[in-house]
A and B are shown apart, each in its own frame.
Chain A
Amino acid sequence: MLGVLGGRVYDPRNGSDGETRDIWVKDGRVVSPEEVDRQGAEIVDATGLVVMPGGVDIHSHIVGAKVNAARKFRPEDHRGAERARTGAFRSGSGLTVPSTHLTGYLYAEMGYTTVMEAATAPLVARHAHEEMADVPIIDKATFITMGNNHFLMKCIRDGRHEMARDYVAWLLGASKGYAIKIVNPGGVENWKWGSNVGELDDEVIGFGVTPRQILETLAQISDELGLPHPPHIHGINLGRSSSARTSIETMAALDGLRAHFCHIQFLSYGKGRGGVHTSEAVAIAEAVNAHPDVTVDVGQLVFGSATTMTSDGPLQHSLHRTTGSKWMNVDVEGETGGGIVPVFYKRTNPINAVMWRTGMELFLLIKDPWKVFLTTDHPNAGCFTSYPHVIKLLMDRDYRAEVFEGIHARARKGSVLHDLEREYSLYEIAVITRAGPARALGLKNKGHLGVGADADIAIYQEMDDKAEMFARPRYVFKGGTLVARDGTVVADPPGRTFYVAPSYDPGVEKDIRRHFEATYTVSFENYSMLSQHVTHEEVIACG
């Protein structure tokens, strides 16, 4: 039994806005006062401290083929960013792409206890799961890329909606995934022909379907299967001046269906002069405010070193051409693709500065904090270790103004940012980093401290400097176990892996097997992961 007593509890889901409350924990869960047996209980005196649920990251790239290719690709990223082994804790390295154990430690030390790997190609899902087994402490899950999947596009072309639905259910089970991920629907397939898509009604080469059809079908299927998290969408035109327009069009196309738009900052631009985009955050925020079923995470840009990595192959090629940085590309048969380009974001670069500003404006203009979540699309726009810095920008308008004054003048011009006086409260921070993402993920035991919740608890000393406050929690508990103290990991229990197992008509397997025999280089029988291949698994119910 563990008691966290007398803390100021920020638990938005249960309506606690800094009220002094005691939290009792038994067997890794929060329990009601009736179940408390103080005899022999471990007591944490949290008087005056800020108590929050453990952080929940809805979109981060931490494991799997793409992340590991980036680690291998960037030895220069790791030097000077090493951690030595201490006692039972493993050594590691990596600034923007930390090694697996280090990733678990760094998240836990920051008070985060649940992290979603944002994109895994099903063909290499086994790889992602093998790495997840080596990321300690935090609970994890992965989203499965489907926006350029051949079998699915054939179903859409042939009007076989039920078969598409059965296939999606089968694929999530086979890859032990958690949600449908859509990346540049149709555009990645077209990239394999050296092309891309630019409009929702462009044609996918060889399939005669459109990005709009792919998005609509997958959003419908997600609802029909009752998946806990709606489709997680990286739309078309990321990084382009047409992105704000097509983002808004996509929200309209999916009206009435649940959808999460990830790292929306990267898709909120309009056309500017001389190749420098403008921020269209005002229009995007308006659209987000207007669509009740839409949530977004921001993908806030942080000045400094980053590693861009995405399944959006054509985007990465164009980034390579723009920056001149080295480039990796991987085309994945029948499913998806991907690329990696290292970047360094500078406040004095007008394009980077506009990106920074766009993210800030989105945070401040989207009214309902339950609809906008804190991410940096790690490590695309910045590292997850920058979250405390982003929190400071949101909570401290003087600091924000100071940074704003230092960015390139082109980006300051016309910005609404200096008029936005809004400062996030601790309660709102608890929403955008905990309660909100947990709710959008359908993780009922995460992001809150009510009875039955997982005892993932982060306890902070309140400070004026919010970056310092959130970088080094006094205590972090994961499932009731003290895992970090004063920003240093003290225990590394394994984290769990969540996945869904929606039911489907097994008759579809016959068609999938035929598709495999015709197009895959891996046997159908060796493709699916079995539950025994997942360590510390927990199946999250659908419907």
Chain B
Amino acid sequence: MSTTIEHVACTFCGCVCDDIVVEIEGSRIAGVRRACAVGRGVLDEYDPEVRRPLLRGREVEWEEAIEAAASILVRADSPLIYGLSSSAVEAQRKAVELADRLGAIIDTTSSVCHGPTGLAMQAVGEATCTLGEVRDRADLIVFWGCNPAASHPRHFGRFSLTPKGTHTPNGRKDRTVFVVDVRPTGSSKQADHFLQVDVGADYEVLTALRSLVKGNDLAPGPIGGIPVSQLRDLVDRMKTCRYGVVFMGMGLTMSRGRHLNVGELFSLVTELNEYGRFSVIPMRGHGNVAGADQVLTWSSGYPFAVSFARGYPQYGPGEFTAVDVLARGEADAALIIASDPAAHFPRRAAEYLERIPTIVLDPSESLTARIAQVVFPTASYGLDAAGTAYRMDNVPIFLRRLLTSGRPTDEEVLDRIIEAVK
């Protein structure tokens, strides 16, 4: 006996595609249609079997695990709460409440992907739009330092390359597409123009583009590996297009210059609005990393790297970002929600994490869970829990509950921890 559920949202990446069709058989997903390969894997490999929490590797009752987690947090002088981007808004709200109550440092995976994008936005502003505007209006698209063909597989088909929109009735034919990157990628193969920038030279190239937009002359030699004639051609198109959009990724945020690269790009986009209309959209990675920014911002005023240690929120990228806090050995306990820093953080930070008592809430068995003292196998939002995720363009998407498992949600576990630390 199988049931079909339509309009299911996938929370794997920042596209949060919500047109997926899922077949349910019993308590498992038996079929997935329309999802990309990655999303399909996330959906049909999910095992909703209820597992008991682990306390130092030993299965215990929920009550005991909650008590143990609360006692770790209460005893800590400087607890760190980290992750959040693959959980839902409901749980993120509870995580900030807990951080506020504990006087903890709270940080999200933003700090290791688009944190610099946030800093650039705060410095120079950001002209942006929702993905539907891209589909309907954009006739010039630039992908800079990102490779959606690999990271966001349905981005091209749903929003940016091939879909037919009101003012783009011929789909791909109505769009001119540039890719700027340090090497050819799956995405550059699909572009009309590929500009290969030297490693570490993005800032230089962006500055040259801003200069050309202002009508300055540049020496003919290449800039950052790109001939000026090609940059001039791009600028001409940027100034005459109907609606241009730049998608930018970690090629800018995690290379030399970081937020300065992004700030230069955002300034360029702002200045292009003197000629026509132009927007930029950061290619957010995790399904609800945008939601983590939103919740932390509405609760504290700041999007990531927040410390409540003084009783009120303080913002400190570089100071309160999880990697830095761990690498400097400043946290004395950690609560990790739906994220795997032990696998992804730089070695010094990851090694330090092993030395402090750590609590993990995660639907899957992460590497961090293996080194943690307390592990809560929670439900997965959009699979066996309902909630909200914010797409890369900050549009909130409703996540249905598809499966009825007995797993508690992150929200429920956090709520019980909050009660226990009171």
Contacts and interface: CB of A to CB of B under 8 A. Distances in A.
Interface residues of B, number: 62
B100 A331 contact: no
B130 A99 contact: no
A85 B299 contact: no
A72 B293 contact: yes
Contact of B131 (A65, A93, A327, A333): A333
Nearest to A100: B298
Interface stretch (A14-22, A355-363, A389-397, A521-529): A521-529
Interface in A37-88: 63, 65, 68-69, 71-75, 77-78, 82-85
B137 A192 contact: yes
A474 interface: no
B294 interface: yes
A152 to B, nearest CB: 15
Contact of A78 (B125, B302, B395): B302
Contacts of B397: 522, 526
A150 to B, nearest CB: 8
B16 to A, nearest CB: 9
B259 interface: no
Contacts of A320: 125, 270
Contacts of B46: none
A320 B274 CA distance: 11
Given A65-B394, A192-B137, A331 B279 contact: yes
B420 interface: no
Interface string B256-277: 0000000000000010010011
Contacts of B101: 85
A72 B131 contact: no
A331 B129 CA distance: 4
B116 interface: no
A420 interface: no
A534 to B, nearest CB: 13
A123 interface: yes
A399 interface: no
Interface stretch (B22-30, B226-234, B304-312, B347-355): B304-312
B130 A330 contact: yes
Nearest to B267: A326
B122 A521 contact: no
B175 interface: no
Contact of A330 (B128, B277, B297): B128
A496 interface: no
Contact of B312 (A82, A326, A334): A82
Interface string A183-194: 000000001111
Interface in B302-344: 302-303, 308, 310-315
A246 to B, nearest CB: 24
Contact of A525 (B7, B136, B270, B390): B7
Contacts of B297: 68, 71-72, 99
B362 to A, nearest CB: 23
Nearest to A125: B396
A162 interface: no
Contacts, number: 175
B165 A519 contact: yes
B293 A326 contact: no
B243 A192 contact: yes
A134 B133 contact: no
Contacts of B18: 522-523, 526
Please indicate which of the listed interface residues A74, A327, A521 has the most CB atoms of chain B within 10 Å of its own CB. Answer: A521
Interface in B92-135: 93, 97, 100-101, 118, 121-133, 135
A522 B398 CA distance: 10
Interface in A84-113: 84-85, 90-94, 97-101
A131 B388 CA distance: 12
B310 A520 contact: no
Nearest to B135: A521
Contacts of A98: 301
A73 B125 CA distance: 7
B379 interface: no
B132 A85 contact: no
Contacts of B131: 333, 521
A100 B388 contact: no
Interface in A311-343: 317, 320, 326-334
B270 A327 contact: yes
B302 A328 contact: no
B89 interface: yes
A123 B397 CA distance: 10
Interface in A461-520: 518-520
B311 A84 contact: yes
Contacts of B137: 192
B166 interface: yes
B187 interface: no
A252 interface: no
A326 B273 contact: no
A328 B132 contact: no
Contacts of B100: 85, 90-91
Contact of A126 (B302, B313, B388): B388
A130 B118 CA distance: 22
A77 B100 CA distance: 20
Nearest to A103: B298
B133 A75 contact: no
B300 interface: yes
Given A71-B301, A526-B9, A526-B397, A130 B89 contact: yes
Between B9, B101, B129, B131, the greatest number of chain A beta carbons within 10 A of the residue's beta carbon is seen for B129
Contacts of A518: 166
Contact of B308 (A68, A91, A533): A91
Nearest to B390: A127
B19 interface: yes
A351 B159 CA distance: 43
A17 to B, nearest CB: 41
Contacts of B300: 91-93, 99
A63 B299 CA distance: 11
B34 to A, nearest CB: 11
Contact of A72 (B135, B303, B314): B303
Given A68-B294, A523-B18, A134 B135 contact: no
Interface string A160-204: 000000000000000000000000000000011110000000000
Contact of B310 (A84, A123, A134): A84
B59 interface: no
B6 interface: yes
B118 A72 contact: yes
12 contacts: A72-B122, A73-B121, A73-B125, A100-B298, A124-B395, A192-B133, A206-B167, A521-B130, A522-B397, A523-B18, A525-B6, A526-B9
Given A85-B308, A92-B299, 19 more contacts: A68-B294, A69-B394, A84-B311, A91-B300, A93-B313, A94-B301, A97-B301, A99-B299, A99-B313, A123-B395, A127-B294, A192-B137, A194-B276, A326-B124, A327-B127, A329-B126, A333-B130, A333-B133, A523-B7
The 7 A-B residue pairs with the shortest CB-CB distance, nearest first, are: A333-B132, A84-B311, A331-B129, A93-B301, A82-B312, A326-B125, A78-B301
Interface of B: 6-7, 9, 18-19, 89, 93, 97, 100-101, 118, 121-133, 135-137, 158-159, 165-167, 242-243, 270, 273, 276-277, 279, 293-294, 297-303, 308, 310-315, 388, 390, 394-398
Interface of A: 63, 65, 68-69, 71-75, 77-78, 82-85, 90-94, 97-101, 123-124, 126-127, 130-131, 134, 191-194, 206, 317, 320, 326-334, 518-523, 525-526, 533
